Amino acid sequence: VGDLSGSDLKGKKVFVRADLNVPLDDNQNITDDTRIRAAIPTIKHLIQNGAKVILSSHLGRPKGVTPKFSLAPLVPRLSELLGINVVKADDCIGPEVEKLVASLPEGGVLLLENVRFYKEEEKNEPEFAKKLASLADLYVNDAFGTAHRAHASTEGVTKFLKPSVAGFLLQKELDYLVGAVSTPKRPFAAIVGGSKVSSKIGVIESLLEKQVCSRCNSKIVPASAIPDGWMGLDIGPDSIKTFNEALETTKTVIWNGPMGVFEFDKFAIGTEAIAKKLADLSSKGVTTIIGGGDSVAAVEKVGVAEVMSHISTGGGASLELLEGKELPGVIALDEAIVVTVQNLL
């Protein structure tokens, strides 16, 4: 989007797909606005250049129209961050939306209702994509968190709307997750953990619910000597020392996956130690990249998120990218960035 000049944008209706899938509490209050804040630079750039922004996102995984998954609670925060009154549509396609688009001033923002209220979104139905596309003159995808989904608003729409370009957030995520990882300043370290543990969290939680966790038995043993009937739920002091020593001389580190079941304080020691080590390295100029929902939650829990070089807004998307998969929402764009981590390594 940075390549589009003021004259490309002034008066143009721009369909912006963002990932505003933020957590809400029972009273519909936003409990973490990271994704909203991350979407702001692209929207600001567009409105400052006189574009009319038609903003689209999903929220949660609704089955049909579900009020608790409405995007309405996001309007005040978006308006505050943008410094304008964001208008909210009750739908994402149809005559009412068209009317609102027609009355949108240059520099205005219209937030469409949850695009997943239509099953056609996830099915990537061309007719639905065409209806979304018909609202605008050009398309900007800034929804990195949803770029691994081939949905109507992330992939299908690009077939009907040209140009289709990447927003600043999507570009930044790719720069870090593909660029920095494929041509890292070396030594380069990847810390990968968590996946098997996280898939067992439900089991572990239900097991621990049956006990009082702070009193459940734990002991530190070599990884090769975990007794029968016991589970390895964190790394111990020797492993922490090994990680710290290995990381000491690195220039780039990517971390994906916690070291243990950090949701429980008792098993958060290894994860916290790595988070602190990365924070220390980051403050010394090492490039530190955190990807994947659990690792991001871990650095936030430890309070060191601010010092990291890059915190990805994509959980599943960053994992798929690091696995070497192509992201449908990215390769559908005009300036198709068809590189993946794998084919660059």
Q: Which residue has the tokens 């209050």?
A: 29
Q: Cβ closer to ligand 3PG: 19 or 137?
A: 19
Rounded-to-integer distance, Cα 35 and Cα 55, Å: 14
CA dihedral sign, ordered 272, 277, 280, 281: negative
The least distance separating ligand 3PG from the CB of residue 146, rounded to whole angstroms, comes to 5
Q: Which stretch binds ligand 3PG (CB under 6 A): 87-95, 143-151, 164-172, 276-284?
A: 143-151
Helices (H), the chain: 6-9, 34-48, 75-82, 95-102, 119-123, 126-133, 168-174, 181-182, 195-199, 201-209, 237-247, 269-283, 293-302, 316-322, 328-331, 341-344
* 123 is annotated as an active-site residue: no
Binding to ligand 3PG by CB under 6 A, coded x per residue (else -) over 50-79, reads -----------x------------------
Q: Which of 12, 17, 35, 172 is catalytic?
A: 35
* 116 is annotated as an active-site residue: no
The least distance separating ligand 3PG from the CB of residue 173, rounded to whole angstroms, comes to 13
The least distance separating ligand 3PG from the CB of residue 4, rounded to whole angstroms, comes to 25
Strand order in the sheet with 138-141: 87-88, 109-111, 52-56, 13-17, 138-141, 164-166
Rounded-to-integer distance, Cα 33 and Cα 30, Å: 6
Q: Which residue has the tokens 């299908």?
A: 156
- Degrees (nearest 5) of the Cα angle 45, 47, 51? 110
Q: Which stretch binds ligand 3PG (CB under 6 A): 23-31, 45-53, 134-142, 145-153?
A: 145-153
* 12 is annotated as an active-site residue: no
Q: Which of 63, 196, 215, 284 is catalytic?
A: 196
Binding to ligand 3PG by CB under 6 A, coded x per residue (else -) over 304-333, reads -----------xx-----------------
Burial, 110: exposed, middle or buried (Cβ in 10 Å; 0-12, 13-18, 19+)? buried
Q: Cβ closer to ligand 3PG: 145 or 270?
A: 145
Closest residue to ligand 3PG using C-beta atoms: 21
Residue among 124, 141, 146, 171 that touches ligand 3PG (CB under 6 A): 146
Q: Which stretch binds ligand 3PG (CB under 6 A): 144-152, 261-269, 275-283, 332-340?
A: 144-152
Q: Which of 50, 107, 236, 316 is catalytic?
A: 316
Rounded-to-integer distance, Cα 232 and Cα 234, Å: 6
Q: Which of 108, 156, 293, 329 is catalytic?
A: 293
The least distance separating ligand 3PG from the CB of residue 39, rounded to whole angstroms, comes to 12
Q: Cβ closer to ligand 3PG: 213 or 305?
A: 305
Q: Cβ closer to ligand 3PG: 21 or 171?
A: 21
* 277 is annotated as an active-site residue: no
Say if residues 279 and 309 touch (Cβ distance below 8 Å). no
The least distance separating ligand 3PG from the CB of residue 145, rounded to whole angstroms, comes to 4
| Position 19 contacts ligand 3PG (CB under 6 A) | yes
Residue 300 phi, psi dihedral angles, 5° rounding: -70, -40
Tell me the number of residues near ligand 3PG by CB under 6 A.
Answer: 8
Contacts of 201 (CB under 8 A, 6+ apart): 261, 263
DSSP run (H or E) holding 16: strand 13-17
Contacts of 179 (CB under 8 A, 6+ apart): none
| Position 21 contacts ligand 3PG (CB under 6 A) | yes
Q: Which residues bind ligand 3PG (CB under 6 A)?
A: 19, 21, 61, 145-146, 149, 315-316
| Residues with catalytic function | 35, 196, 293, 316
